Structure 1
Amino acid sequence: MGFEPLFNGKDLTGWSVIPRSYGTLWPGGPDVHDVVTDFPQDYAEQAALHPAAWSVENGAIVGRQQPLGSGYGGYLISDETFGDFELSLELNPDWPADTGVMLHRRRDSWHGLQVLVDHRHSGSIGGFFGNGLGSFHAVPFALTARFDSAGNAIGLREDDPATSAEPFTPEKAAMLDYAAPVEDFLATWNWLGWNSLRIRCIGERPHVTTWINDVKIAEIDLATLEAPNYDADAVADFLGPSGHIALEVHDNDPVLGTRRWAPDAACRWRNLTIKRL
């Protein structure tokens, strides 16, 4: 069986809009809102009212905050679920725009494995975050922008630990079975243009590999991963053998604010295809 389209290029048939939400930090663990106390008290209510704006423009899915600059995000989630697969898509994020592609995502909560597309200060692209799976941050490098003399962002460079908002550490790369050198990524990334992302996801405790523009970026094995508060058996039982795919518009937070998602930012996705394995 070959690749089949996940997006028809015309409308959002096969996808549903859901608000951004949080939940337990790991299966059976404490709720995010009980640990991180700087969320607004009415966060859930406001998030439900502002689930991000999703549209189709020039053959691409476009995600923005709703309304622009609201600070609340959301997801576009596949109606179908998938177990083993290879996913191929193209994406074009503004700067800054913190987004990602979620795998084995539960529809009723935030839990799932996220392939990061943190196109913002101290972000990482092609690595992984365990949403509600222990919040592990397994990334090969961290990035920030290069600026011209007028202060305009003109490209990406390696993040500087001295000024980082989310410092890269060797422990983050050690969680990966493969971590690309940052130079490999920077040599292939097309600034403010279209880039291809390919994701291979295999197994009930998924082994996941990512490529950007056909350059291998990262590889993780959730069967053997060792990370704080991560339990492979508990996560596998909780998520099950398959789940949804979701695209993200991130919310803002007190740490990064509009450096996480600019008020007028958007991310675009096109040519989404999937091959069931």
Structure 2
Amino acid sequence: MPQSDSFVPLFDGESLAGWHAAPRVYGDLYPGGPSLLEHFDSLGIQRPVEPEKHPARWFVEDGVLVGEQDSPGSGYGGYLVSDQAFGDFELKMDMRPDWPADTGVMIRRQRDSWEGFQVLVDHRPSGGIGGFFGNGLASFSAVPFAIDVVSDENGQPTGLVADNPATSVEPVTEEKRARLRYAADVDDFLKVWRWDDWNELTIRCVGALPVITTWINGLKIAELDTATLDSPNYDPEAVLGVLGDRGHIALEVHDNDEMFGEARWGKGAQCRWRNIRIKELS
């Protein structure tokens, strides 16, 4: 587990200084490939309407950074992007997503386009937490497990459970797990996750084509070697050519789509972050 000394804050607890909001713009599916919007057309999926006008809503409340759809319930998501770019680093933050809230942390992200590695915090049905997705990088999915929610007799969610592959909208396959160099067991994750409370996410990113490792509340969740990742249309050298060896950090508010609808981001849902701090390693 990384040590916590020598970290510096990325969020001052009072303002959005050092960050800027960005909409969910779309680019190529992978470097040199077709555009994502053309891919949507080929699959018969409706294109998002004017997403560039809706960067999500970001504000600070009681020392906590809050993200929500713009406007709440509209279905429009966006990002909050660090002004500074980073190479190798360890990043720590406390997070508290509502259910359902499909969020995450992008690293090595380009400032004005959508490419980058995403650490998933998909706090929603069939969601992966601590795994990885390639935005504009062939949409690779590398996840150790998926989660769902258990509800009380009134239908109110009360905690996380393992996703049932038989009924999952987006099941975890052995192929997705095999892309990871390390994959935690879902039962171990469920023991450390704090429902309706703060959870600490740690991300370590090292290398030009980085090895990315995640921890939740001190439990190692997943490790991905992006130099050796094997996934359709994923080309490490092309990825390095697009991203370089430095990039921005971005927090996500997901938009809603045909696949999940409000199960991806509930009406009025928020995700909250605090104690965002980083230690540069190079």
Query: Is 1:137 paired with 2:137?
Result: no
TM-score, normalization by structure 2: 0.95
After superposition, the C-alpha distances for 1:89-127 in whole angstroms (9 at most, x for unaligned) are 000000000000000001121100000000000001000
Shift of 1:49: 2.1
Q: Which residue of 1 aligns with 2:150?
A: 146
What is the rounded CA distance, in whole Å, between the counterparts of 1:147 and 1:73 in structure 2? 26
What is the rounded CA distance, in whole Å, between the counterparts of 1:179 and 1:152 in structure 2? 30
Where has structure 1 moved over 4 Å in runs of 4 or more? 38-42
The correspondence for 2:106, drawn from 99, 102, 105, is 102
Indicate conservation of the 8 Å contact 2:145/2:172, yes or no. yes
What is the rounded CA distance, in whole Å, between the counterparts of 1:186 and 1:34 in structure 2? 39
TM-score, normalization by structure 1: 0.97
Q: Which residue of 1 aligns with 2:163?
A: 159
Shift of 1:167: 1.0
Q: How does 1:1-277 map to 2 (within 5 A)?
A: 2-37=6-41, 40=46, 43=49, 45=50, 47-277=51-281
What is the rounded CA distance, in whole Å, between the counterparts of 1:96 and 1:117 in structure 2? 11
The answer to which of 32-41 and 214-223 deviates more is 32-41
Task: Flag structure 1 segments of 5+ consecutive residues without an equivalent.
Answer: none
Letter matched to residue 172 of structure 1: K
Shift of 1:204: 0.5
After superposition, the C-alpha distances for 1:143-196 in whole angstroms (9 at most, x for unaligned) are 110111221111111111121110110110000000000011000000111000
Task: Flag structure 2 segments of 5+ consecutive residues without an equivalent.
Answer: none
Local SS of the residue matching 2:233: coil
What is the rounded CA distance, in whole Å, between the counterparts of 1:40 and 1:17 in structure 2? 25
The answer to which of 19-28 and 86-95 deviates more is 19-28
| Number of residue-to-residue matches in the alignment | 275
Local SS of the residue matching 1:75: strand
Question: What is the aligned-residue RMSD (CA, Å)?
Answer: 1.1
Letter matched to residue 164 of structure 1: S
Letter matched to residue 239 of structure 1: L
Letter matched to residue 267 of structure 1: C
Identical aligned residues as a percent: 59
Shift of 1:220: 0.2
